Each structure stands twice: as C-alpha cells, then as structure tokens.
Amino acid sequence: MPLVTIKVLEGRTTEQKRGMVKDVTEAIVKNIGCPDSAVQIELVDLKPENIAHGGKLFSDGR
Amino acid sequence: MPLVTIKVLEGRTTEQKRGMVKDVTEAIVKNIGCPDSAVQIELVDLKPENIAHGGKLFSDGR
Amino acid sequence: MPLVTIKVLEGRTTEQKRGMVKDVTEAIVKNIGCPDSAVQIELVDLKPENIAHGGKLFSDGR
Amino acid sequence: MPLVTIKVLEGRTTEQKRGMVKDVTEAIVKNIGCPDSAVQIELVDLKPENIAHGGKLFSDGR
Amino acid sequence: MPLVTIKVLEGRTTEQKRGMVKDVTEAIVKNIGCPDSAVQIELVDLKPENIAHGGKLFSDGR
Amino acid sequence: MPLVTIKVLEGRTTEQKRGMVKDVTEAIVKNIGCPDSAVQIELVDLKPENIAHGGKLFSDGR
C-alpha cells in the first residue's frame, strides 16, 4: 500500500511505462511519506474498442 | 464522471459493444441528468477460464 | 455476469439509483441478450475530495 | 455476491486456477455462511511489464 | 501480489473478516505456491442500496 | 483517460490529497504526453480492518 492502478490507451512503450511508474511512485512518496517500496502500481492497457465517451466507442472516432 | 465498467464474457461483437455503450449512456443520462459527454465506459472481456461461480471455473462447464 | 460498476458523485437519491439500475440493466439485456437476472450492478458513491481532474481536487472547484 | 477478484502474475496453469477458485470459495463460505453458488470469482492475469513495486517495473528485475 | 479484493454485503463482524482473510490467504498459497506475506487482501463493504440484481436494488427486496 | 485509482490508508489530510493528485497528474503527463485535463484520479480511503497482508488484518497489528 498505496495501491495504484493506471489505465491508459494501449500502445505505450516500455520506456514510457518505466518512466511513469518511477515518477508516479516519487509523487506519492513525496506527499504521503511512505517508503517507495510500499507503492505498488498496476498498469492496464485499454483497447480503443473497449472504451467509450458520450455513448460512442473510442474506435469509432471522437 | 460517471465512470462505468462493464465486464462481459469475451466474444461480444463490435456491433453489440457499440449498441451497449450507447444505450447504457442514455440510461444513465436519463436518471442522473448529466451531459452524455460526461459518461465514460470501460468494457472488460472476460475469458471463461478466468471466471468462477460456486467454486468452479466457467470453462469447466456449469 | 455481466458485472457492472457505476461510479457517481455522492448525493444521488434512492429514486435515481433505482431508476438507473433498472434502465442500465435493460440496456445491457437488449444488446447482449442475457437474462436480466444475470446482470449485477454495483454503485459507488464518490466524495468530491476523492476525485480529481487535471490535477485538481473536485472539492477545490473546477 | 460475494464478488472476488484475484490478480496474479500471468502463467498460472488451468489446474492452479481450478484449485484456487475451489479453495477460495470454500474459505469464504466457511466464514460468511453464504451458499457456495453465491461466490463469484474473477481472475486477472498480470503481465510483468504492467506491474511495479518501488517505482520499478517487475519485468526489469527486482 | 497476489492482490485480492472481496466485496461482501456490509455487516460482517471483525471476527468473520479475520477468519476470511486468514483462510483465503491459505487457499491461495496452497495453490499458487507464493509466500503468505505476498498475499494482500482488500475487503469492500457493500451497502444494500448500492447493489442490484436483475435491475432491482438489493434494498428493495429480492 | 488516463484513469488513475490510488488506494491509501484512511486519514490522509486534504492537503496531502491535493498535493498527491497534482504531482501524480504531472508525472503521468510528463511520460505519456497527454493534456493534464485528460488525467482523472480517484482516491480510495481504506480502513485498517478492511486490509490484510499475510492473512492478518492490518487492524490486528503487523
């Protein structure tokens, strides 16, 4: 704990993921004061046909 | 917001997903009174070997 | 299954929740073709100090 | 209900999943007193590049 | 990891929760072979007015 | 999108939450390149009697 879930559109590179988990962990440690080893992050890759805004699938355009 | 997650057995067609996010969005707007652009939906496709009822995997039959 | 989660800002009345789960269930049944008894919905009431957009808490104004 | 989600590192065999949902269901029934048919479990397979501890991706070593 | 979430109707005693997390942890360790210290469980207490089956709130009867 | 959930032990001050959502949003924008207005964060306050590690409730000590 803290337990973090970050859902992003699929297609992020490993480099982007590596940087994101490092920086998000630091951001939480800075504000909560927990050890960084306590921060767990799960990334979820979302497919465009599985997301909708305003009743419209992302894969159908915006 | 509202943020909606709908978990269904994998195998739904894009047409089914398209209709479902449209109709679910309308159902929420009708009752909550938010603009439809505020409704976000995430669909999750579940594999039969990753679901269980009564202690038994869905993929092992019911 | 389907399993649905709907996260909304706290303060919705029971009447709004009652209508929303009824209409969302119908919207899913119409598109997926499952029996309505298979649709489970969980509502989550979100506090304004626990939501943020653009790096700003909802409770701090928009 | 109860609704259970178990997130594990990908690569578990069907046999492991089969045993786990059976035993977890029994553990819940024993303590809650619900019928086993009421227990639903969703398994989520996590990829090593989508998990991080201490700001470091699992796929980058520990 | 494993990360477990168990959603139950509110009103379970601390004794029930204590027994459930102990037994569920053992059930996972037995099948996955991880150390028990790796198993994290989050319990979520659900209010009857926030759950619905078949389009009907649990608090409205079944 | 991105959609972020951060689960922390209850008792964080509004000031801590305010700083955390600001800094986590910046960390994601820096790595993903999305506009900060696209980042949504939900905070979840966890009670000590609803978390367990190693089969033991957090409220029972470690």
Mean pLDDT across the stretch E12-30?
Answer: 98
Residue F17 φ then ψ, to 5°: -65, -45
Model ipTM value? 0.96
Q: Does D40 touch chain A (CB under 8 A)?
A: no
Chains adjacent to B (≥3 CB pairs closer than 8 angstroms): A, C, D, F
CATH of the domain at A52: 3.30.429.10
Please indicate, yes or no, if residue E57 is contained in any of the structural domains: no
How many folded domains does chain B comprise? 1
Nearest chain B Cα distance for residue D59, angstroms: 23
Residues C32, B26: C-beta atoms closer than 8 Å: no
Nearest chain F Cα distance for residue B1, angstroms: 9
Pick the closest to residue A55 from B17, D54, D61 (CA basis).
B17
Mean pLDDT across the stretch A35-54?
Answer: 97
Residue F47 DSSP class: P
Residue C33 is encoded by which pair of tokens? 């073709």
Taking only the tens place, the pLDDT of each residue in D19-62 is 999 999 999 999 999 999 999 999 999 999 999 999 999 999 86
Q: Which residue numbers in chain B have pLDDT < 70?
A: 62
Distance (Å, whole) CA F23 – CA A30: 9
Expressed as residue numbers, the domain containing B35 is 3-60
Kindly report the number of other CB atoms within 10 A of residue D49's CB atom: 16
Taking only the tens place, the pLDDT of each residue in A1-28 is 899 999 999 999 999 999 999 999 999 9
Distance (Å, whole) CA E19 – CA F28: 39
pLDDT for C62? 62
pTM confidence score: 0.96
Kindly report the number of other CB atoms within 10 A of residue C61's CB atom: 7
The strand pair at F40-46 and F3-9 is best described as parallel
